[in-house]
Structures are given as C-alpha cells and as structure tokens.
Amino acid sequence: MTEDTRSTEARVAKPDWYADLARYGQADRRRATWQLVNTVIPYLLLWALMVYTVRQGTPYWITLALTVVASALLVRIFIFFHDCCHGAFFPSRQANRMWGYITGVLTLTAYDDWRHTHAIHHATAGDLDRRGVGDVWTLTVDEYRAASPGKRFGYWLYRNPLFMFGIGPLYSFVIGHRFPSKGARKRERASVIVTNLALLAVVVAASLTIGLWTYLSIQLPILVIGGAAGLWLFYVQHQFEGVYWARYEEWDMMRAALEGSSYYKLPKVLQWCTGNIGLHHIHHLRPRVPNYRLQQCYDSIPALQAVRPVTLGESLKSLRMRLWDEERQQMVSFQALRKPHL
C-alpha cells in the first residue's frame, strides 16, 4: 500500500453498514470449483466442436455462431481470473495463483502483471490526479482544448467505438499483454514471460495437431467478440451518466465506489455470463467479495440497493461521453464543445 493510499483511506469515513460487507468476503472452494466446472469444461468442449466443424468443412457461419457462445464463456472465465487476482476466488492463496495463471493463459493475460495494474486501478478510480494505469484514457475538457492537434486526433481515435471495441481489444490481448506494464517489477515481468511461453506452446501444439489455420479461425473470432464485450463492460463500469470524478484533495473512496462505479443491471443470462461484475459498485467497495457472492451482498444491504442502476439500453448513451467537464461535473460529448457554455 502506498503512502498516498494510506493517507486517503485515513480521511475516508465509512458508514455503519460498511462492516457488513466483510461477511460476504469469504471465498468458498466448492462454489469456485463448480464455477470452473460449469464454465471452463463447456468452453473446452465448444472448442473441440468448433475444431470438428472447421476440419469437416461445415459452413463457417456455424463455427462463427459457436464462437459467440464461446466468447460469452471466455468473458466469464476472465471474471474468475479477475477474482483470482484479488485473492477472492478460492480461500487458498496458492489455488488463486495457480488458477490465475491457468485462466490467464486462456484469456491471454499475465496474472501478476495484470494483478499489479488492476490494484492501482482500484486505488485511483475516479481520481483525476492519478489517472493513467489500468483505466480508460479520459481527458478533461480543458486538457483536450489545450492538447496538440496530434494528441486530439489520437484521443478522438482512441474514443471512436470502432477502434475502442474493435481494434483495441484485439491489439490489447494479442499484442499489448505480451509486454510487461510500465513500472513492472521482477515478478510481474516473469509472469508475462511464463504466460507468453505457455501461449507459444499452445500455438505450436495446435499447429502440429489441428493446424494453425484451424486454430486461428476459431481463436481470433473469440478474441474479437469476447474482447469487445469485456472492454465494453469495463467501459460502462466507469464511463456513464452521473459518474464521479474528483481531484485528489477532494477524492473520496466511498463516493468513488458508489458513484464512480456503476451498477450495470443486465438480464439474468448476461449477468451469469459476466460473473455478476455489473454489481461493480460493490466490487469497488470490497474487492475481496467473490463474484458468486455479489448478488447476495446486494440483496442483503439496503444501502447498496440505493445506487441507481444503469440498464442495458441506458448504457448505450455512454458511447457519446468522451470528456470530463470539471466545471459542470459531468461527462460530455465532443459535440458539446461547440456549445457556448463549454
């Protein structure tokens, strides 16, 4: 824990009900194991079925339809990986680490490196003075206006939905995750090397058995669809109407969790596929609550239910939110810059 984090936590007053969250921060080996069984095994069986359809010359659209289902399962597997990074999936630290590496290979993400950057994200979410690690690039209106034309174009491109949810996830998972994050320590760098070697072994084994083309014709669509869905979830969790941002001196951890992290209310089937991560305000309040206890936690603590949910339809509005207006304390679109009051 950094000195900044300690001083921030010291000045944050927690409500009486906050202590109740600890009851739900207990990992359950049986529930975690069952989640692996009901998700990883179907994912691998789907992979085997898709190998069969490709090699038998079945119309490719059938394989693509199966990749949609596989992508949904991969998103859920990433939530298990995410819980392992928080030490929340299994009671055992060793089990979390082992399954963190295994699910990390499945999701093309290095366990220790991602764990490190994600911890920084939790410590700085909603803080305008500590942006830049494990978050979505966000500029203020004043920063955008003062930026060079090249930086403005880069930000516009980054915020373009086709880039952010198309090229962006594919680049991030295939290329970006192959390199250690900035400031990575020895353990984080080692995790990237181990994950890369494991992925290389998978590609070589696939090339010698099912063939490289078969592997890529299945893996790439899964990464494109699953990566886009995963990034969309992360985007909506911190880029929505009414989101909280503040400068460090005024930043409040409780507000950053309850107002800076959304309650993304999804249909039950999508909630299952996304491992309850839509209850993101609870996750930021207590990261050690495993995904399989988030709904129970929400149902038991009235204060958590007071957070206004973001529905699937309402979440589409966040696509227009590109900049943070410090004066008005809200996210605004590029088009809003043309209005006189901005």
pTM of the model: 0.93
DSSP per residue, 114-145: HHHHHHHHHHHTTBGGG-SSSS---EEHHHHH
Residue 263 has φ and ψ, to the nearest 5°, of: -100, 95
Q: What is the pLDDT of residue 228?
A: 96
Q: What is the pLDDT of residues 221-272, one digit of tens each?
A: 999 999 999 999 999 999 999 999 999 999 999 999 999 999 999 999 999 9
Q: What is the pLDDT of residue 158?
A: 95
Q: What is the pLDDT of residues 45-70, one digit of tens each?
A: 999 999 999 999 999 999 999 999 99
Structure tokens at 216: 């890529």
**Where would I find the beta strands (DSSP E) of the chain?**
139-140, 263-265, 309-311, 323-325, 330-332
For the cut 80, the answer to whether the pLDDT of residue 2 exceeds it is no
Contact 322, 330 (CB under 8 A): no
Instruction: Report strand pairing: 309-311 vs 323-325.
Output: unpaired
DSSP per residue, 63-112: HHHHHHHHHHHHHHHHHHHHHHHTT-SSSSHHHHHHHHHHHHHHTT--HH
Rg (CA), the chain: 21
**pLDDT, the chain, mean:** 93
Q: Considering only CA atoms, which of 272, 325, 263, 105 is closest in space to residue 197?
A: 105
What confidence tier does 337 reach under pLDDT thresholds 50, 70, 90? confident
Q: What is the pLDDT of residues 12-54, one digit of tens each?
A: 678 889 999 999 999 999 999 999 999 999 999 999 999 999 9
